[in-house]
Structure 1
Amino acid sequence: MSNSKDSVSRTIIVALVLCVVCSVIVSAAAVILRDKQKANVINEKKMNILAAAGIEVVNGDVATAFATITPKLVDMRTGQFSTDEDVATYDMRKAARDPSQARALTPDEDIASIRKQSLYSTVYLVEGEQGIERIILPIHGYGLWSTLYGFIALESDFNTVAGLGFYEHAETPGLGGEVDNPRWKSVWPGKQVYAQGSYTPEIGLIKGKAKKVNVHDIDGLAGATLTSNGVTNLVKFWLGKNGFAPFLAKLKAGDA
């Protein structure tokens, strides 16, 4: 009887020791890999910005490719560039969760279903000898199952789409998840956000396949109506009066 009890006790002790050892190993690995994980997240974000801008990454050298891009901070309240925050460390998503760094959107304003908007946004400029060649804007909004985070790039007229891509979402694979399909993303370049003389977005997804002559229409996502509506709403929000439209108007006029 005593041997049986000793056996059980030893088994429990061994199990506890193994649990402690495994916990220490997992915790140590998490700490050791934390910096690498953060670096990978930053690198992935840079790759998506470059992809939206149509800038090729040669031999996997993201740093060199990204050196051609200038990040700047925009005050969403004034529609002008700002140096109030450090553009290198500013986190829009974190700021949006802080009432002192964000504004609550009214139901009428919140067509993208994001609830709060950070007071500042980080935009990315591709500049050449003639000035801004392309501008990459952060966009996000709710689809069917998740908030989609991505970037839309505009040409130097601040109206023609150069590219679009989402780097984070949890939409249904094969349906809403088709936002990742290169074929679908390829229909965006060349489309027009605004009608001439207006800063009210006309661009959006339609049911079925868009005709090439319709410069504002984007192919809808088959079988994913709610995700399609979500993409339309988030693009219209971020390129509308409560998003980047005032900034783009001032930028075009040279007042940003």
Structure 2
Amino acid sequence: MEEKTVNKTNSNSYTFIFSIVMVVIVGVVLAFAATSLQPRQYENMRKEKMQNILATVGVETDRDGAQELFDQYITEQVVLNNEGKVKEGVDAFDVDLAKELKKPANEQNFPLYIADVEGKAYYIVPLRGAGLWNAIFGYIALKDDVNTVKGAVFDHVGETPGLGAEITQEWFRHRFDDEKIFDDNGELVGVSVVKGNASASKDDNKVDAISGATITGDGVSDMISERLNHYLPYFKSKTDIKVANN
């Protein structure tokens, strides 16, 4: 009787074992790649953060020059508590607003960057809030009167391309230039993104919205006023402008 030869490579057990081995190998390779690239990714994120902070005061740079210019123009980095007092032992650059916003306001850290550009002082406040689909964030720089906006930068996690995602565009950012964050009564109201606001006035605390992106625009408005109000005690100590007593 003729004996049949079984091809082991066609057996179910072989296929199963081969699949497991390949999954393990691929997993190890991916884990090694991720671990190897992590320091570079972290460094790129740090430099991009520096670029965004510098952009609010009109200093543009690529990633290669970010560290040098950041060290040149950012003269002070502090972290404030909710009373506007400087906290010791906390690095402003390492404060993660996504984590801070989960805490009660009186427990949060409020980072602040102070820049000196051609002899003029600017106060740069990190921002974070909610857009239509996910988080929005950025930075806003105030001139030394802590009332007039020097510049702003915005970014997002998942806003709609061509609509809410347009908050990253330079033309939208520049709408905030020279706007005021205090109204005529000395109330800190921030800068509101308002549909149909075609006024060229820089004293109305408003900029024109992006068509079709109302919710994202409202998120930008809320983010600016909510974050800046936490810095109000500090602003009061740094300026003689009219500020309402809250």
Query: Could you give the per-residue CA deviations for residues 172-227 of structure 1, whole angstroms, max 9, x where no partner exists?
Result: 11111110111111111111111246142152111124311252220111111111
Q: Name the SS for the 2:176 alignment partner.
A: coil
Q: Which residue of 1 aligns with 2:86?
A: 81
Mapped to 2, the partners of 1:166 and 1:228 lie a distance apart of 11
Mapped to 2, the partners of 1:28 and 1:207 lie a distance apart of 49
Higher deviation after alignment, 8-17 or 173-182 = 8-17
Q: Does 1:23 align with 2:11?
A: no
1:138: Cα distance to partner? Answer: 0.7
Q: Is contact 1:125-1:134 (8 Å) kept?
A: yes
Higher deviation after alignment, 217-226 or 121-130 = 121-130
Q: Which amino acid aligns with 2:22?
A: L
Higher deviation after alignment, 163-172 or 195-204 = 195-204
Q: Is contact 1:45-1:167 (8 Å) kept?
A: no
Q: Which residue of 1 aligns with 2:244?
A: none
Query: Could you give the per-residue CA deviations for residues 4-42 of structure 1, whole angstroms, max 9, x where no partner exists?
Result: 555223333332222211111001111111111111111
Mapped to 1, the partners of 2:146 and 2:60 lie a distance apart of 21
Query: Could you give the per-residue CA deviations for residues 88-125 of structure 1, whole angstroms, max 9, x where no partner exists?
Result: 5443433444xxxx316xxxxxxxxxxxx752211111
Which residue among 169, 188, 192 is the counterpart of 1:200? 188
Which residue among 29, 33, 37 is the counterpart of 2:37? 33
CA gap 1:170/1:211 in 2 versus in 1, 3 angstroms: same
CA gap 1:226/1:129 in 2 versus in 1, 3 angstroms: closer
RMSD: 2.4
Q: Is contact 1:199-1:249 (8 Å) kept?
A: no
1:43: Cα distance to partner? Answer: 1.2
Q: Which residue of 2 aligns with 1:49?
A: 53
Q: Name the SS for the 1:153 alignment partner.
A: strand
Q: Does 1:150 align with 2:138?
A: yes
Q: Which residue of 2 aligns with 1:178?
A: 166
Q: Does 1:138 align with 2:126?
A: yes
Q: Does 1:233 align with 2:222?
A: yes
Q: Name the SS for the 1:208 alignment partner.
A: coil
Mapped to 2, the partners of 1:180 and 1:193 lie a distance apart of 20
Unaligned runs of 5+ in 2: 241-246
1:153: Cα distance to partner? Answer: 0.6
Q: Which residue of 2 aligns with 1:211?
A: 199
Q: Is contact 1:154-1:163 (8 Å) kept?
A: yes
Q: How many matched pairs? A: 234
Which residue among 228, 237, 240 is the counterpart of 1:250? 237
1:60: Cα distance to partner? Answer: 3.8
Q: Is contact 1:93-1:118 (8 Å) kept?
A: no
Mapped to 1, the partners of 2:150 and 2:202 lie a distance apart of 16
1:128: Cα distance to partner? Answer: 6.2
Unaligned runs of 5+ in 1: 105-116
CA gap 1:176/1:23 in 2 versus in 1, 3 angstroms: same
